[in-house]
């Protein structure tokens, strides 16, 4: 994730002291999405390899 994307998406939180709160929520969501996506890619790749065998 690029720093520019984070700043662009959360620029409204920069004036608030609770900036760490929305950041952690976004971070948690991104981790879930990353795990799901990588698992999906792995299954797809694994399935292709199986067909080739």
pLDDT tens-digit readout, 13-53: 555 555 566 778 888 888 999 999 999 888 888 877 666 55
The range of the structural domain enclosing residue 16 comes to 3-52
Q: According to the model, what pLDDT value does residue 25 have?
A: 85
User: What is the reported pTM?
Assistant: 0.39
Q: How many domains, the chain? A: 1
pLDDT of residue 32: 92
* Of 28 and 4, more confident: 28
In the predicted structure, residue 2 carries a pLDDT above the cut 80: no
4 confidence band (pLDDT: 50, 70, 90): low
Q: In this structure, which long-range contacts are made by residues 2-5, counting pairs with CB atoms below 8 Å and at least 24 apart in sequence?
A: none
Distances (CA, A) of 46 to 41, 49, 53: 8, 5, 11
Q: How many CB atoms neighbour CB 26 within 10 A?
A: 15
Considering only CA atoms, which of 48, 6, 3, 41 is closest in space to residue 25? 6
């Amino acid at each position: 994730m690029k720093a520019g994307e984070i700043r662009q998406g959360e620029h409204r939180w920069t004036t608030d002291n609770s900036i760490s709160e929305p950041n952690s929520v976004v971070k948690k969501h991104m981790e879930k999405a990353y795990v799901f996506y990588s698992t999906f890619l792995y299954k797809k790749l694994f399935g292709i390899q199986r067909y080739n065998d």
